[in-house]
Amino acid sequence: MTKQKLKAAMAMMADRDNAARDVAAQLGVSLSTLYAYVDAKGQPREQATELLGKRAPRAPARAQ
């Protein structure tokens, strides 16, 4: 998965009219690869945030 394909996947998956298998086929990736990077709503998973160069959100630190 490239950064460009990931951005396209996120946009395409956010559109409920697109089927995941069609998105994967258009991008030339397997369905399992697609879901490894993007959830069903087009939101990035941890692997995607690494590819995009963003940190995954962390839980806030507890006060002591």
> What are the beta bridge partners of residue 44?
38
The DSSP 8-state label assigned to residue 42 in this structure reads S
- Provide the whole-model pTM: 0.78
Q: What is the pLDDT of residue 59?
A: 53
Residues contacting 31, CB < 8 A, separation 6+: 20, 21, 24
Residue type, 30: S
Span 40-58, pLDDT tens digits:
999 999 889 888 887 655 5
Residue ranges, the chain, pLDDT below 50: none
Backbone dihedral angles phi then psi of residue 38, each to the nearest 5 degrees: -135, 140
